[in-house]
Amino acid sequence: MNDPEKLNADAPGPDGDRPLYPRITAPGWLLIALRGTVLILFLILGLILHSLIRLIEWPLAGRNRPVSPLITRFVCRNALRIMGIGYSTKGQPMRQKGAVVANHAGWMDIFALNAGQSIYFVAKAEVATWPGIGLLAKVTGTVFITRKSSEARRQQTVFEDRLRAGHQLLFFPEGTSTDSQQVLPFKSTLFQAFYTHGLDRVLHIQPVTVVWHAPVNRDPSFYGWWGDMDFASHLLKVLAVWRQGRVEVIWHPEVPVDAFASRKELALYCERVIRTAHPVARFSETEQD
């Protein structure tokens, strides 16, 4: 399996016979204009509606969000439709109090995972500064984290408060996005948050596999977003494809945290479940930190 940090979007794809993103043609630019305009207007309207709902929810329900997550799901599902991307699911989102962990291909996972489940992403602080995506993340309740040791205790408190409030936080244990054709080893340090202050006795964890299927005659890594790829060019090249591919989201059965003696055991279990359901990555080698 190729190292996603070393792949170049302008070079031939991982299969070696064609580039990930062929040059955009005139019809492609027209498609970008049409899809892009509709998508932007739809997202703006969705953000306005979501914000108005939150103005009502906050004084009545505080941290609880009985309605606004439904707006998020509606917007994300239809954003995929506007882009022309097929969407299918297997299994059921859990109803237990807890967290969700998934493999990570890139920014498009936000739409795929939000489309079928009321969740709140945990993302690196830099995401908050990204054009468009950063605003969406802030409005929909994303938890932003840094890798500073001085922030660890505060961030742990935020996790606990949100989890105890019933928010299903979604983590990407790989710690980075990929070419969508592999599942990187899970960083077990992330799972320590579930073993503090008795959380392991009340939380469940649901592994979720996200499988991106590239458009016909495109490189399998077409939807992956990694290395030094920039958001704008990736978005344009995706929108330029007339006949898109599809994404499949597989919700696996949730497990109680206290069924595993340590964070490493829980991380390894989740990684194996997610990897096994992935049609390509299931044969990759795994390792633990």
Q: What is residue 135's predicted lDDT score, i.e. its pLDDT?
A: 80
Mean confidence (pLDDT) of the chain? 87
- The count of structural domains within the chain is 1
Q: What is residue 247's predicted lDDT score, i.e. its pLDDT?
A: 98
Residue 259 lies in a domain: yes
Residue 136 lies in a domain: yes
Residue 220 lies in a domain: yes
Q: What is the DSSP string of 36-63?
A: HHHHHHHHHHHHHHHHHHHHHHHHHHTT
Higher pLDDT, 38 or 145: 38
Residue 170 lies in a domain: yes
Look at phi and psi of residue 180 and say left if phi exceeds 0, alpha if psi is from -120 to 50, else beta: left
Asked if pLDDT for residue 285 goes beyond 70, the answer is no
The CATH number of residue 258's host domain is 3.90.190
As a whole number, mean pLDDT of residues 15-42 equals 85
**Exposed / middle / buried, residue 225 (Cβ in 10 Å: 0-12, 13-18, 19+):** buried
Asked if pLDDT for residue 10 goes beyond 50, the answer is no
Q: What is residue 283's predicted lDDT score, i.e. its pLDDT?
A: 52
Residue 4 lies in a domain: no
Residue 38 lies in a domain: no
At 229-267, the pLDDT tens digits run 888 999 999 999 999 999 999 999 999 999 999 999 999
Q: What is residue 20's predicted lDDT score, i.e. its pLDDT?
A: 65
Bridging pattern class, strands 120-124 and 204-213? unpaired
Q: How confident is the model at residue 129 (pLDDT cuts 50, 70, 90)?
A: confident
Domain residue limits at 220:
86-229+243-283
Q: How far is CA 172 from the centre of its chain?
A: 7
Asked if pLDDT for residue 93 goes beyond 50, the answer is yes
At 44-89, the pLDDT tens digits run 999 999 999 989 988 887 777 888 899 999 999 999 999 999 999 9
Reported pTM: 0.87
Asked if pLDDT for residue 17 goes beyond 50, the answer is no
Residue 46 lies in a domain: no
Higher pLDDT, 105 or 282: 105
Bridging pattern class, strands 246-251 and 169-171? unpaired
Q: What is residue 102's predicted lDDT score, i.e. its pLDDT?
A: 97
Residue 12 lies in a domain: no
At 217-236, the pLDDT tens digits run 899 999 999 888 888 999 99
As a whole number, mean pLDDT of residues 149-176 equals 84
Backbone angles phi, psi at 193, to 5 degrees: -60, -20
